[in-house]
Amino acid sequence: MSRDLERNRADLKADRPLAMLIMPPVYDFAFYDLYFKPYGLLRIGRWLQKGGWDCRFVNALDYRDEISLSRLKPPHRYVDGTGKMFRQPLPMPEGDFPSSRRFSRYGITDESLRSGIASSRRPDIILISTFMTYWYKGAAEAAELCRKIWPGVPVFTGGIYATLMPEHCRTSTGADHVVKGEAWDYLNSYFSKSALPVCDKRPSEEDFLMESEVWKDAAVLRLNTGCPMRCSYCASSMISEFSEGSPEAVFNQFRALHKKYGTVNFAFYDDALLFKKDNILLPFLEKVIASGIEANFYVPNAVHIDFLDSESVKLMRRAGFREIRLGFESSDPEFHKNNGRKYDEGTFPSVIEKLKSGGFSERNEIIIYILAGLPGQMRDEVLNTVMYLSGFKVRISVSEYSPVPGSSLWEESVRKSRYPIAEDPLFHNNSIFPMSWEKFTYDDMQDLKTIASELSF
């Protein structure tokens, strides 16, 4: 049994209501843990605890799980807190999927998951977090186990999949409640009707995350919520509206995590980390530098090119940023005209120069994302972008487009995809290239990724 579960069980008190929080396993063709943490779920957990609840966290993606370590090959992990997960091969699901792909279940064994769900007193509610739409089978597995082990306990699902595809989520998981967007008002309304403790209207900026061993190898921070941009391929605004956070509060959370767990690796979950940076990010970085705490910062979601300047680069490097990921997407001006202008054409070379003169000069410290496989996009556009970037001595990463329900490109994607993406979210998976066509095939995509890797600095 994991230390999280041992501590959860020891801390439970019979006179308080119990919420069980579940991070489900992942069903996918490939999965790599790039700072993938249950941030939203454990934020809710802390909110509930402050409202008088006990919380039990069951983590199906616990790569330290003892039962799974005794049954499966140990996942390879890296010192920066990233790495692989337990993997169990599965038969391919029905559908015309690329023959080179293999389908798997990522996470602890079903035996361990069942044990984690059962090892407590009867919960009053069960909260299951959802993420990518095409990971729905993991949430469905967790929900089915909960209904078998704790019949009659209301099951809530929330998160990205639940928000973007609520009816499909309700059908696939059988959840009693599917929560769209932020959960605070919905849960409090249910608590009030059910004679359960009602919590604060929403967490204050000083409310931190629920304690858990998941924060030890790497933790996550979020200065701002949402994104002010409205890119055609994204539905961030449907998840949450943009709102500014408090650099003081996030610094206190950073310091508390470092003190309690010795955490040194931190990833920002912001969708627009540099937006209004003079008021938010830069004051946070100044506090980190002044504290003397040595940490490593990462930006898996990438940052906007136009918001980078020399002062920001120098502060980011001094504070401990180990890499910079940029959302470049395409060198074609028409791409940005049609899909959301993230930067002006002439700024990119100067930004790369600022990054290199500011200390980001080693291999893999500057990573440039290209977005490939949008509906109707041609192979040559992506190839031209790869060739353009090859002259800057940076790492080039080709990111496959995944159709997102509710985004501006969704309806066009439904019309042009070779898969029934409106019917089964499994076909949203970017690993299978759902928007392939004769002028940009699955094999073309694999070739472009190889070329990008070979031309990376």
pLDDT confidence tier of residue 2, bands split at 50, 70 and 90 = low
Pair 65, 107: CB distance under 8 Å: no
Domain finish residue from 126, 159, 193: 193
**Number of helices and strands in the chain (H, E):** 18, 14
Which residue has tokens 């700072």? 35
| Residue 206 within a domain | no
CA dist list (Å): 430 to 4, 39, 143, 356, 451: 33, 23, 25, 32, 19
Residues 421 and 291 in one domain: yes
CATH number for the domain harbouring residue 331: 3.20.20.70
Q: How many residues does the chain have?
A: 457
Mean of all residue pLDDT scores within the chain = 94
> What is the span of the domain harbouring residue 123?
3-193
Do 290 and 381 have their domain in common?
Answer: yes
The verdict on 261 and 352 lying in the same domain is yes
Going by C-beta distance under 8 Å and a sequence separation of 6 or more, which residues neighbour residue 371? 233, 329, 330, 399, 401
- In sequence order, what are the beta bridge partners of 305? none
Q: Is the dihedral of CA 223, 305, 391, 430 positive or negative?
A: positive
Residue 208 domain-assigned? no
CATH value at residue 115 = 3.40.50.720
- Predicted local confidence at residue 6, as pLDDT: 53
User: Do residues 245 and 175 share a domain?
Assistant: no
Statement to judge: residues 188 and 225 lie in one domain? no
Please tell me whether residue 423 adopts helix, strand or coil conformation: coil
Q: How buried is residue 399: exposed, middle or buried, by Cβ count under 10 Å (0-12/13-18/19+)?
A: middle
**Do residues 223 and 160 both lie within one domain?**
no
Q: Which of 161, 193, 225 is the last residue of a domain?
A: 193
* Same domain for 270 and 406: yes
- Residues 374, 380, 381, 387, CA torsion sign: positive
Within a domain: 205: no
- Note the pLDDT tens digit of each residue in 171-183: 999 999 999 999 9
For residues 209 and 37, is the Cβ–Cβ distance under 8 A?
A: no
Is 198 inside a domain boundary? no
| Predicted local confidence at residue 34, as pLDDT | 97
pLDDT at 208: 84
For the chain, how many structural domains are there in total? Answer: 2
- CA 320 remoteness from chain centre: 22
Q: How far apart are the first and last CA of the chain?
A: 44
In a domain, 10, yes or no: yes
Q: How much is the pLDDT for 184? A: 96
Identify the weakest region by mean pLDDT among 87-91, 206-210, 437-441.
206-210
pLDDT tens digits for range 56-76: 999 999 999 999 999 999 999
Segment 237-251 shows an average pLDDT of 89
What percent of the chain lies above the pLDDT cut of 70? 97
What pLDDT does 361 receive? 87
* Residue-level pLDDT at 10: 47
Any domain includes 207: no
Lowest mean pLDDT among 7-21, 26-40, 95-109, 242-256: 7-21
Calculate mean pLDDT across residues 37-58. Answer: 97
- Answer yes or no: do 56 and 183 share one domain: yes
97, 243: one domain: no
- Where among 129, 160, 193 does a domain terminate? 193
Residue 417 pLDDT more than 60?
yes
Separation in Å, CA 269 to CA 10, 165, 229, 355, 406: 31, 22, 16, 21, 21
In tens, the pLDDT along 149-198 reads 999 999 999 999 999 999 999 999 999 999 999 999 999 999 999 999 99
The Cα–Cα gap between 181 and 159 comes to 7
Please determine, for residue 256, whether its predicted confidence score (pLDDT) is greater than 90.
yes
At residue 240, the pLDDT reads: 81
Q: Are residues 219 and 169 in the same domain?
A: no
- Going across the sheet that includes 26-28, the strands are 26-28, 104-106, 87-89
**pLDDT, tens only, 273-284:** 999 999 999 999
Whether residues 133 and 267 fall in one domain? no
pLDDT in tens, 71-84: 999 999 999 999 99
For the cut 80, the answer to whether the pLDDT of residue 53 exceeds it is yes
d(CA 370, CA 326) in angstroms, rounded, equals: 9
pLDDT digits (tens, 9 = 90+) for 270-310: 999 999 999 999 999 999 999 999 999 999 999 999 999 99
Per-residue tokens: 119: 């090892």
Output the pLDDT for position 259: 97
318 and 248 part of one domain: yes
Q: What is the mean pLDDT of residues 321-342?
A: 91
